[in-house]
Amino acid sequence: VISMPVSERKLIERIRRSVRGGASVVTGIGDDSAVLRVPPGNEVLVTTDFSIENVHFRRDWPAELVGWRCLTRGLSDVAAMGGEPLAVFLSLAIAKDVPQKWVDRFLNGLLDLAKEFKVPLAGGDTAQSTAGVQADIVVIGSVPKGEAILRSGANPGDLIYVTGHLGAAADALARLKLPKPGRAKRVSAQLSRHRPVPRIAIGRWLRQRGIASAMIDLSDGLSTDLSHICEESRVGAEIEAGAIPRAQGGTQKTLVALELALHGGDDYELLFTSDPSVLLPSKVAGVGVTRIGRITKSRGMRLLTNGRARRLQAGGWEHFRGGK
């Protein structure tokens, strides 16, 4: 894992210095593979997420935020299983024209989040890219045997919940795509403030109590991620438009548009289902939990607005693409 052309030595040295051996890391960077210890009676969670320049982020975004969000994607996947993160691996390809300072700031953002969750960066790979930056984040986690919360466990009649507020990231990104004179700096500051926090504590809380029948993280947007739950559980869903907890929008002190809360991605909140007999507190681990609908036997998704139902499609988040 440590082998790389000499030109990448600086990068790997920087990463190597950042590496902290957690209790779970027996051998980290410096061997062919990392060696991890998994708590007895636990299964291993593995998730990989690519973050690609001009697809998932732009280089003119705050680099710390790009690094932070890169790792958020992985940690959020572990949270959505009710798991605990054990170690992080970063495969990073960097083109020659990317300034060292950008890479340093990217790593700082990523390591800030790793520190916050006490997850060691235990290895990875570095390479030269022929164009731009490509980062693949691998998060290894653990969960007590048989207790992982899957997408496939939702039952008709279960209530649907989300954590936090939705649409803030999509709102900030929409502004970035439509730059107006003098606005770029303000939007960038807004984006910087929006550092999504993976909901590890909430996932753990739900898993320990056996409360969630199914769970997913909101990375692609409520409508798309709910459709995954429906697909894997072979059920349908009904959502109350008015119940969706919309985030505050940018500088205007109003709520974001319903469309952004429904279809915007990158919120990294959790969506889960639970038997209607279960009473949930309004907050878990300091974060609001809101009931937004229920699972139905009939397939497909419906959106209820003032009692009127219309078909809800997986509108999904289209990642930003260069050239569009």
Choices 70-78, 102-110, 169-177, 281-289; region in contact with its own copies by CB under 8 A = 70-78
Q: How far is the CB of 292 from its own copies (least distance, A)?
A: 19
> Burial letters for 290-310: b for 16+ Cβ neighbours within 10 Å, e otherwise?
bebbbbbeeeebebbeeeeee
Which of 104, 125, 240, 259 forms a contact with its own copies (CB under 8 A)? Answer: 125
Among 19, 70, 93, 244, binds its own copies (CB under 8 A): 93
- 214: buried, middle or exposed (CB in 10 Å: 19+, 13-18, 0-12)? buried
- Contact set for its own copies, span 154-213 (CB under 8 A): none
CB burial of residue 33 (10 Å; 0-12, 13-18, 19+): exposed
Choose the stretch contacting its own copies; rule: CB under 8 A; options: 9-17, 141-149, 239-247, 303-311.
141-149
Q: Residue 6 interacts with its own copies (CB under 8 A)?
A: yes
Q: Which residues contact 118 (CB under 8 A, 6 or more apart)?
A: 22
Token readout for 72 is 């958020």
Residue keyed to tokens 């299964």:
43
Tokens of 135: 């980062």
* 299 near its own copies, judged by CB under 8 A: no
Q: Can you tell me which of 136, 158, 238, 266 binds its own copies, judged by CB under 8 A? A: 136
140, 187, 239, 260: which one contacts its own copies (CB under 8 A)? 140
Residue closer to its own copies by CB (options 150, 176) is 150
Shortest spacing between CB 135 and its own copies, in angstroms? 9
